[in-house]
Amino acid sequence: MDHLLTISDLTDEEIKQIFSLTNKLKEQNKQGIDHPVLAGQTLGMIFQKSSTRTRVSFETGMFQLGGHGLFLSSDDIQLGRGETISDTAKTLSRYVNGIMIRTYDHSDVEELAAAGSIPVINGLTDLLHPCQVLADLYTIQEKLGSLQDKKLTYIGDGNNMSHSLLIGATKVGMDISLAVPNAYRPDEDIVATADKQAEESGSQIEILTDPLQAAENADAVYTDVWASMGDEDEAEERMKAFKDYQVNEEVMNAAQNKAVFLHCLPAYRGKEVTAGVIDGPQSVVFDEAENRMHVQKAIMVELMADQAKKEDL
């Protein structure tokens, strides 16, 4: 594991190791036990897209691991003024020990990883959001006891969240059902990757247009905003397209009685989800948000820590 660009690059064993390490780090954190395995190290955090959870979880996580998270906005680095990604990667590789980037084009993340000599973590692109989905899968496992023989339903836009959920679910052997309008279906290359993984893991994939059909017997129900960052100019059009794709009490009633509700946040009550669902007893969205930090700490340890220090955890 040299980088984390997409979940499809991870082996089953690497995902299990991330989750096992997350358990350990989370428990130590709750007990107040220090784990400074990244003491003296710096994570360069490039934000071309702003975020509450991504910045705070990575920065706090690095602090708890004994290192430092260095916030770099487009205004702070020459990348925002036309310097090539390759030059930025080579320069930062001389200063910091790892890079997390939250940006638009997925190819930028790939180029950063190829040109640099340090680990790169995809904090989000318009194509994929792997750290979020690893935290989602960890949360489902934590709440339901296992990912095996479980069904995940996603309702909404065929965006980066649906892409990473397709890849993540089929990687770990979960069935996944999407309900998306035909005009907003997920990327066909992503679906092809998920189909290939499903053949290997035994997962079943459904891409439907009916939310109630998709939610039938689901163990976990997921949604995201209807207009992601960068889609704000389409907000009115998307409101019309997604008006029948709200996760509400009827949708949750179609799922299993003990189904959990997840959302990557921020959420807009009364739009993609009702207040009764997101603030109700089946919602695990804030446990999910907390787990972003614990899972990302495990990822940083796997990518950046010396083996001897990992063994001391």
* Per-residue pLDDT tens digits for 52-89: 999 999 999 999 999 999 999 988 888 767 899 999 99
CA distance 260 to 92: 41
Alpha-carbon dihedral 27, 7, 121, 83, rounded to 10 degrees: -170
Q: Is 148 assigned a ligand-binding role in the annotation?
A: no
According to CATH, what is the number of the domain 3-129+291-312?
A: 3.40.50.1370
Which whole number is the average pLDDT over 107-111?
A: 97
Weakest mean pLDDT among 82-91, 152-161, 172-181, 201-210: 82-91
Angle at 201 between CA 195 and CA 205, to 5 degrees: 40
pLDDT score, position 231: 72
Residue 205 has pLDDT above 90, yes or no: yes
In angstroms, how far is CA 203 from the centroid of its own chain?
20
Which value, in Å, is the radius of gyration of the alpha carbons in the chain? 19
Domain boundaries of the chain, sorted by first residue: 3-129+291-312, 132-289
What's the half-sphere exposure (Cβ side, CA atoms, 13 Å) at 187?
A: 16
Which whole number is the average pLDDT over 130-151?
A: 97
Q: Is 160 assigned a ligand-binding role in the annotation?
A: yes
Weakest mean pLDDT among 64-68, 81-85, 119-123, 175-179: 81-85
**Do 3-129+291-312 and 132-289 have matching folds?**
yes
Q: Is 213 assigned a ligand-binding role in the annotation?
A: no
- Residue 208: pLDDT band with limits 50, 70, 90: very high
pLDDT digits (tens, 9 = 90+) for 213-254: 999 999 999 999 998 766 778 888 999 999 999 999 999 999
Q: Is 282 assigned a ligand-binding role in the annotation?
A: no
pLDDT score, position 29: 95
What are the structure tokens assigned to 285, written together? 């969205």
Q: Is 185 assigned a ligand-binding role in the annotation?
A: no
Q: Is 265 assigned a ligand-binding role in the annotation?
A: yes
More confident of the two residues 14 and 308 = 14
- Residue 310: pLDDT band with limits 50, 70, 90: confident
Greatest CA separation for the chain: 55
Average pLDDT, the chain: 96
Which whole number is the average pLDDT over 153-182?
A: 98
**Contact at 8 Å (CB) between 245 and 291?**
no
> What CATH number does domain 132-289 carry, 3.40.50.720, 3.40.1160.10, 3.90.480.10, 3.40.50.1370?
3.40.50.1370
The residues carrying an active-site annotation are 102, 129, 132, 224, 264, 292
Residue 297 has pLDDT above 80, yes or no: yes
